[in-house]
Structure 1
């Protein structure tokens, strides 16, 4: 059975209602990420075994508060739910509601139900509601709403069995929606809509009328027809939506009054002071909140650098030993060179950073699972506004620590176009996980491993933390400059619901780490390996018969060289005279003021595909540099052993190392990010601006650092 024939269930809910936790619980590792048809926004789908032998497809839709969209991600949800012909239109919806805030969550539920979609109400966080003194009569609530209601704890996986039964029953009986509109409108108006645009539930027809400009299913001609209908019937959508929302809340309040017992009110008790209330006094404090956040970041990067060292060294050494072993048992040939110095060196350049990527996403996932990440966004809002950013810009900037591509996509929740544009342009300055491999290698070369700060903190971890802070403050400064240039006068608001604190469910943390590592290995990894192989070809062959004559020339010009020294000299000369060497020499004058030679130039060019390719390129280049002993078998030791021909001293000294670190902290070295900026702005103008200002900033900053430290 193909997925196209499988029943599709959409998970819908308010932000922080637990929808993503439920998705992870239902689907486990049976997940895949793609794009919604015609939209560059991530679509997360998974497989859920509803009954023995019956799988259903689960679609995790972005969190929304209402079906009246105010942002691009909300618009996406409505384009699916209001269009039965959409390829992602669900056979059934599960609306996940926060039981501790039932009245607000039921607004969205009532709208989805009235669209005519068979709906199950999943009451999440029942334990939190009970701790706050609320007891919900689920059976009575189901009768009042005429739907199946299931009580669940999405994080702990409690209640999934009951949710299965509710879903099976709903799919079988397909309960009818509420045919009555929340507020009456002209029956002739609804009939006119249905005559022109097809039969549909009354509320769906009304939604088409009110939101036709945001719906891609309609042509320009059809949108004009909707406008004529609104004029003909004197229908004002804004007034109707406002009045309808008020009416829905009145009806919901009556339902909640009948189905929810408030023990605090019954006993005339004070509202329960929860752990969330107590912790928030500290975590969102105007002083302690910032200090705690910085401390958590500091510890996080210390741990990422320290804990990952051991598995990274094992992987690095293992790849080097595998390469040496293959070179010993395989005959010397171009194919052997391609396998060892091209393919395996490239794979090693990917695998070595898996431990650090895993540790980074471990911490990020824990912060999200516990509910602390929302507090970070809340306290950072005040700082963002001083630099002219929308409060919602905090979400993309923090997401940028993982990857700029989904971070830029997440700017769709920002209503102001100028604020959104500025956020898109500065988000790549946040140090993403792709920079982590570069930081790791270069910091290891220029910051002594055994040195500590105050005798406790690893200096390499301190340097890593500093680079992340540098990227963050440069993003704020750039946003401030861009705000002045664009002269934006729009006022924007940041509204965010803070979820309760929860203990992390480690199954969900593991799924998050697995998906992140898989994405790095199979997405970035494919690029790194492919470029490593291509680079090996360009570094192994040169124009004409120049490469064939090099060995003889080296032997004649250096008669005293023998053994490993002679082999290294021949390999070095071949690399310099290869196609890659010629290209590196061509750009060397432009990068010489930064302290870079032609070998680093090759890595700079190849890493425009993706920043992390820098390390794979250096690994390939130095693998082609000749024979090395066991002590210098790893990429870090190869780079550490490189000598500057002009000075006779180590190539990667503090001046060059920090110059490269600063360059990669600021440079736009990611084609995927530029492509995403183009797709989100619908213009090449803004990717070019982004590339131009970031490259200029990187060059100038790296130049100053090198000249000062030299």
Structure 2
């Protein structure tokens, strides 16, 4: 039997369980890209419906109705209106939240009236029961005229029934209902007839949308003008039509609810979620608990990651030392140990912390607490020109600024969206984590207060808070400079509290570690190899003179200690006169006031590719300069200036940490800012203000300490 392939669009209201169902249907067979021409996430995945049929599941952005306002809602709308040339769904899989059925049925009824093949998956049935709702599924199915399947994606319940319903709908065993949910034609009778003559095969309801939004559909000029003529001739009023439609839909929805749903007694006791919100959203306790949660997050990064990190570092040190003893003295063996292995150790040593950070953030999202953080922050955000929705991109910025900036499209207000984009890179992303970790380990004692408060964890939290506070200050200043006047609203649906899905947490941790190792790893390895070359070779005349000088010195000594000392001096002088050393010395006068030496200068330059390259750069530079049987931390602790003083003192380490908190050292972030703002003006401003701020604050910190 020939294999079949279906395109299934997954649609529904935000927070209705769409992502859970998408994960349940597709597992790990997912990929994330962008919708053509729009910076909106496009999640797609494959699902096996039966032995002969596979389905491409397209997860469309969440939307409350077929009247779009934001960029992501327009993406979903165009797909549903057959106005997207790239995506043509065979079946619509529509998610409805049973605990908010009245509101969800508005969108359901609109999709049904487009006369699409539709399957409705009813989520949150357990919460609906706790709220006191009893839903008669068979009656609801009869009233709507489409299959309705109760599901629980978290527990994999109802997934096989959904697949079966999708197959049967695709085979036209379930047909779109012949009757309309409401009398759509009566909304604008003559105008609807006029449009249907111009664009055949439209349903009455689709024709109404063509009257309202035809300018946004890919129609030829002749058809556009003809529809415009129909509007004018029939005195079509889009605002009145939309208002009439919504009133009629809710009237019909109330009738359906009376027929198929037993609603709860309004005087019943509050749900556990509401009782918990009384504490977690309290005007005093809410903020105290929030700070405690963030504190535990950063403490855990140190507590849990300490031992696996030390093991990885120790393993690479031993491997490097063993290979150096076995391999012959040659350029290729030096490249392997001081280039490839040094770069790899700089990547893999931070995988435990990356995994723990993303795991904990996923738990906060899964439990429903992340949305509460937005709610709590709205009052503070408004004072600096942002709103509560800005918090989600900013918190996402703790992971990576690129998707965080893209997620700012959920902010309807243009000025607040632009401000959010401009300040989000100040949030300490996971790429900064390796830099913080190594510098904190070097300069901050591993001391505990009251037996459990780690001093290193407190400094780490301080760095994250510094980025957040500076973001608020910068936003406050910029709100007076950006001249856009637009009303702002903050409407947020708080999801119910749930136990985290541990499988989902595990998958996220593995996926993020994989992305870090492959994406960041590629950059780090390439730069490590380039740095090895630049720090191992230099101008021929200089290098020959150094070789001759130290060959003569080595002949003059006989003791092993004296030979080792000369070998170290030889490596140091060779590194200083290499191409990397010459470049570092050239910029040293500019960075010396911040307490940085020329090796740190090289790391600052290479970090513009990606911040985490700092550690790989240091690993390569000190591997070329030092012996192979000590860890990178020990090499950096032993590093001295020309006058014999230590490089990584407390003032230098603090200055360097502050610089990395504030500096714009990420080409990808600048590129995504350009793409989101459609101008080079804003990335240029972003780069200039962040670099200037980083230099000024590092200068102040170095000279205070």
TM-score bin (small chain): over 0.9
Aligned equivalent of 2:204: 202
| 1:108-507 equivalences in 2 (<5 Å) | 108-173=107-172, 175-176=175-176, 180=180, 182=184, 184-194=186-196, 196=198, 199-215=201-217, 217-218=218-219, 226-264=227-265, 270-449=267-446, 451-507=447-503
Aligned equivalent of 1:689: 685
Shift of 1:40: 2.8
User: Does the Cα contact within 8 Å between 1:28 and 1:511 map onto a contact in 2?
Assistant: no
Question: Secondary structure of 1:184's partner?
Answer: helix
**Over the residues paired in the alignment, what is the CA RMSD in angstroms?**
2.2
Decide whether aligned partners of structure 1 residues 2 and 47 sit closer, same or farther in structure 2, where only a CA change above 3 A counts.
Answer: farther
Q: When the two structures are superposed, what TM-score results if normalisation uses the length of structure 2?
A: 0.94
Work out the CA distance in 1 between the residues paired with 2:78 and 2:539: 56
Question: Secondary structure of 2:153's partner?
Answer: coil
Deviations 1:362-410 (A, max 9, x none): 1111111111111111111111112121222122111111111111111
Aligned equivalent of 1:78: 77
Deviations 1:141-165 (A, max 9, x none): 1111111111111222222122222
Aligned equivalent of 2:642: 645
Deviates most, 500-509 or 563-572: 563-572
Shift of 1:188: 4.5
User: Does the Cα contact within 8 Å between 1:156 and 1:505 map onto a contact in 2?
Assistant: no
Work out whether 1:519 is the aligned partner of 2:523: no
User: Does the Cα contact within 8 Å between 2:414 and 2:484 map onto a contact in 1?
Assistant: no
Decide whether aligned partners of structure 1 residues 487 and 257 sit closer, same or farther in structure 2, where only a CA change above 3 A counts.
Answer: same
Decide whether aligned partners of structure 1 residues 384 and 143 sit closer, same or farther in structure 2, where only a CA change above 3 A counts.
Answer: same
Decide whether aligned partners of structure 1 residues 6 and 562 sit closer, same or farther in structure 2, where only a CA change above 3 A counts.
Answer: farther
Number of equivalenced pairs: 698
Shift of 1:337: 2.4
Question: Secondary structure of 1:6's partner?
Answer: strand
Decide whether aligned partners of structure 1 residues 162 and 556 sit closer, same or farther in structure 2, where only a CA change above 3 A counts.
Answer: same
| 1:542-557 equivalences in 2 (<5 Å) | 542-556=538-552
| 1:51-130 equivalences in 2 (<5 Å) | 51-83=50-82, 86-130=85-129
Work out the CA distance in 1 between the residues paired with 2:564 and 2:312: 26
Shift of 1:205: 3.3
Work out the CA distance in 1 between the residues paired with 2:609 and 2:123: 43
Decide whether aligned partners of structure 1 residues 233 and 655 sit closer, same or farther in structure 2, where only a CA change above 3 A counts.
Answer: same
User: Does the Cα contact within 8 Å between 2:11 and 2:18 map onto a contact in 1?
Assistant: yes
Deviations 1:310-347 (A, max 9, x none): 11111112122222222333322222222222222222
Question: Secondary structure of 1:332's partner?
Answer: coil
User: Does the Cα contact within 8 Å between 1:607 and 1:614 map onto a contact in 2?
Assistant: yes
Shift of 1:554: 3.4
User: Does the Cα contact within 8 Å between 1:609 and 1:670 map onto a contact in 2?
Assistant: yes
Decide whether aligned partners of structure 1 residues 101 and 536 sit closer, same or farther in structure 2, where only a CA change above 3 A counts.
Answer: same
User: Does the Cα contact within 8 Å between 1:655 and 1:706 map onto a contact in 2?
Assistant: yes
Deviations 1:425-463 (A, max 9, x none): 0011111111111111111111012x1233321111111
Decide whether aligned partners of structure 1 residues 213 and 677 sit closer, same or farther in structure 2, where only a CA change above 3 A counts.
Answer: farther
Shift of 1:521: 1.6
User: Does the Cα contact within 8 Å between 2:188 and 2:208 map onto a contact in 1?
Assistant: no
Deviations 1:569-627 (A, max 9, x none): 22222222222222112211111111111111111011111111111111111111132
Question: Secondary structure of 2:171's partner?
Answer: helix
Question: Secondary structure of 1:624's partner?
Answer: helix
Work out the CA distance in 1 between the residues paired with 2:111 and 2:455: 54
Q: When the two structures are superposed, what TM-score results if normalisation uses the length of structure 1?
A: 0.94
Work out whether 1:588 is the aligned partner of 2:588: yes
User: Does the Cα contact within 8 Å between 1:10 and 1:94 map onto a contact in 2?
Assistant: yes
Question: Secondary structure of 1:51's partner?
Answer: coil
Aligned equivalent of 1:614: 614
Work out the CA distance in 1 between the residues paired with 2:317 and 2:220: 60
